[in-house]
């Protein structure tokens, strides 16, 4: 690994720990982020000459804390210096940091940072943007490209998120800076997991995005899930979340053709699936199942595992997939879950049985691309060409990418030739 790459990898890995600790000291997202960025610049100048420190996160926290203190003192020339306890909720910890960061502080700091990004007052889009900027360190340009908006719009979104958090803190209604207790962890862990999965889906749903702007979101979501697993190593739903994303992302190399065209699961070259990623996902799922505390992420991971374990499409255990979707409908009722279950039903009992499940979802999913695509395919199998064509045309109008629209047009072309 070359010098620039190992430094970049080290800084990225240390970011959540270092930034979270600086936030604990200064209780200000902007100040903590500025201090961390300056510490990174100093690392880029120092580490190539002096070699990497024994503990990169401790080094960055120490340097960042000194930078931020200097900044606060400069501001004090115009304003009164705040009391020391407003700057930090710890004693002078520089010596302790230089030796080794306390493990419990690290756990609480990173968890607090994730909780702040998942503030309940923030819309989901702002939660994702803030987490990608603060926790993951993606640039505003990268996040804007991933969400298909301008840099100015994304900058405003992140600024508004920070402002809402700051206002909530000022009003005493925000996420507390003290170490989160057991009750808060239980209440907020689900929100953090949901945010991570939303990040993953932003990348996973980028069907045929030949720019590659959104694909890194999948890797980043998996990295965040692994981080969450370090904080909650015995939490089966976090294992399930990580397993689900690994098993889904393992198919990335086979999901699209060279021209960005969608390749459905039954037609994918399974030799292109990432075997190491599948093995990691299956191991995590097996470990989660042993806890006997099933949850939605574990069930979805179990469905993905059945696909991953099937050597060929014909070997897929659709009966078990149907049962798992039935469990998921009970745990997390959703018309999208029922729509996905209909695919398994079509494999088991034919298109008429699946269509009977799909039709009642029309009002709820009238604006959903996949509803009209599946309904059209089922109608086509039943020989109801006119209705199938109408469904496919509606799906094309709702397609979010050219690849999705092109995939539906293939069905229409096949009907015309038939």
Q: How far apart are CA 122 and CA 197, in angstroms?
A: 16
The whole-number average pLDDT for the span 275-299 is 97
Q: Quick check: 202 pLDDT over 90?
A: no
Q: How would residue 206 be classed by pLDDT, with cut points 50, 70 and 90?
A: low
Q: Identify the pLDDT of residue 70.
A: 85
C-alpha 26, offset from chain centre: 27
Q: Is the predicted pLDDT of residue 201 greater than 70, yes or no?
A: yes
- Lowest-confidence segment of 53-62, 194-203, 245-254, 372-381 by average pLDDT: 194-203
**Runs of H (alpha helix) within 56-213:** 56-75, 84-87, 94-99, 103-117, 124-134, 140-146, 151-170, 182-204
Is residue 367's pLDDT more than 60?
A: yes
What is the mean pLDDT of the segment spanning 187-199? 81
pLDDT in tens, 103-141: 445 566 777 788 788 777 788 788 888 888 888 787 888
The pLDDT confidence band at residue 323, using thresholds 50, 70 and 90, is very high
Distance CA 394, CA 24 (A): 51
Q: Where are the domains of the chain?
A: 1-101, 102-231, 234-316
Of 268, 339, 337, 334, nearest to 307 (Cα)?
268
Rounded to 5 degrees, φ, ψ at 262 are -70, 135
Quote the pLDDT of residue 259. Answer: 80
Q: Is the pLDDT of residue 352 over 60?
A: yes
CB 305 within 8 A of CB 282: yes
CA geometry: angle 378, 197, 230, nearest 5 deg: 140
The percent of residues in the chain predicted with pLDDT above 70, rounded, is 83
For residue 295, name the pLDDT band (cuts at 50, 70, 90).
very high
By mean pLDDT, which of 15-19, 91-95, 171-175 is the weakest? 91-95
Mean of the per-residue pLDDT values for the chain?
83
State residue 170's pLDDT score. 62
- pLDDT value of position 36: 92
Long-range contacts of 32-37 (CB under 8 A, 24+ apart): 32/64, 32/68, 33/134, 34/67, 34/68, 34/71, 35/64, 35/65, 35/67, 35/68, 35/71, 36/60, 36/64
Average pLDDT over residues 318-328: 97
3-state DSSP call for residue 340? helix
How many whole angstroms from its chain centre is CA 301?
Answer: 15
Average pLDDT over residues 372-379: 96
Rounded CA-CA distance 119/165 in Å is 7
Helices (H) and strands (E) in the chain, counts: 20, 0
Taking 80 as the threshold, does the pLDDT of residue 159 lie above it?
yes
CA 295 to CA 297: how far, in whole Å?
Answer: 6
Per-residue model confidence (pLDDT) at position 93 = 42
SS percent in the chain: helix, strand, coil, step 5? 75, 0, 25
Tokens of 313: 């499409």
Residues counted in the chain = 418
Rounded CA separation 277/281 (Å): 6
pLDDT, average across residues 195-206 = 81
Distance CA 184, CA 182 (A): 6
Per-residue pLDDT of 40-93, as tens digits, reads 999 999 898 888 788 888 899 999 999 888 888 877 665 555 555 544 444 444
Q: 251-272 in b/e burial notation, b at 16+ Cβ within 10 A?
A: bbebbbeeeeebbeeeebeeee
Q: Is the model's pLDDT at 178 over the cut of 70?
A: no
The three-state secondary structure class of 262 is: strand
Burial profile 165-179: b = 16 or more Cβ within 10 angstroms, e = fewer: beebbeeeebbebeb
Q: Which of 160-174, 225-239, 349-363 has the lowest mean pLDDT?
A: 160-174
pLDDT exceeds cutoff 50 at 351: yes
pLDDT of residue 100: 40
- Residue 356: per-residue pLDDT: 97
Mean pLDDT of 237-249: 97
Mean pLDDT of 366-390: 94
How large is the average pLDDT for residues 25-51?
A: 88
The alpha carbons of the chain give a radius of gyration, in whole angstroms, of: 24
Distances (CA, A) of 226 to 62, 245, 277, 314: 25, 11, 13, 33
Each residue's pLDDT tens digit, 402-411 = 888 888 998 8
Helices (H), 290-358: 296-309, 318-331, 335-349, 351-358
- Residue 83's pLDDT is 57
Q: Which residue has the higher pLDDT, 9 or 298?
A: 298
**3-state DSSP assignment of residue 256:** strand
């Amino acid at each position: 690994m070359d010098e620039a790459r190992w430094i970049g990898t080290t800084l990225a890995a240390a970011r959540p720990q270092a930034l979270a600790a600086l936030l604990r000291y200064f209780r200000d997202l902007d100040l903590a982020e500025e201090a961390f960025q300056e510490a990174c610049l100093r690392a880029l100048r120092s580490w190539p000459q002096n070699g990497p420190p024994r503990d990169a996160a401790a080094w960055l926290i120490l340097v960042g804390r000194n930078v931020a203190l200097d900044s606060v003192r400069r501001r004090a020339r115009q304003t009164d210096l705040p009391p020391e306890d407003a700057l930090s909720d710890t004693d002078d910890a520089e010596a302790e940091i230089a030796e080794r960061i306390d493990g419990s502080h690290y756990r609480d700091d990173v968890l607090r940072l994730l909780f702040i990004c998942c503030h309940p007052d923030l819309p989901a889009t702002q939660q994702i943007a803030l987490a990608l900027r603060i926790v993951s360190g993606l640039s505003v340009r990268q996040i804007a490209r991933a969400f298909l908006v301008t840099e100015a719009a994304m900058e405003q979104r992140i600024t508004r998120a920070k402002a809402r958090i700051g206002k909530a803190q000022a009003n005493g209604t925000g996420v507390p800076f003290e170490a989160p207790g057991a009750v808060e962890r239980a209440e907020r862990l689900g929100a953090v997991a949901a945010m991570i999965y939303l990040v993953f889906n932003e990348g996973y749903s980028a069907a045929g995005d030949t720019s590659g702007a959104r694909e890194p979101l999948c890797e980043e979501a998996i990295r965040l899930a692994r981080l969450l697993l370090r904080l909650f190593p015995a939490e089966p739903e976090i294992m399930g979340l990580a397993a689900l994303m690994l098993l889904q992302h393992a198919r990335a190399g086979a999901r699209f053709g060279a021209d960005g065209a969608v390749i459905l699961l039954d037609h994918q070259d399974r030799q292109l699936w990432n075997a190491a990623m599948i093995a990691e996902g299956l191991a995590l799922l097996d470990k989660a199942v042993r806890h006997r505390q099933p949850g939605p992420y574990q069930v979805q991971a179990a469905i993905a595992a059945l696909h991953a374990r099937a050597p060929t499409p014909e070997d897929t255990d659709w009966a078990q997939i149907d049962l798992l979707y039935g469990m998921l409908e009970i745990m997390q009722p959703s018309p999208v879950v029922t729509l996905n279950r209909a695919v398994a039903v079509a494999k088991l009992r034919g298109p008429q049985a699946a269509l009977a499940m799909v039709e009642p979802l029309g009002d709820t999913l009238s604006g959903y691309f996949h509803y009209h695509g599946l309904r059209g395919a089922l109608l086509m199998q039943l020989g109801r060409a006119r209705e199938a064509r109408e469904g496919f045309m509606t799906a094309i109008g709702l397609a979010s990418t050219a690849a999705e629209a092109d995939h539906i047009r293939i069905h229409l072309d096949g009907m015309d030739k038939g």
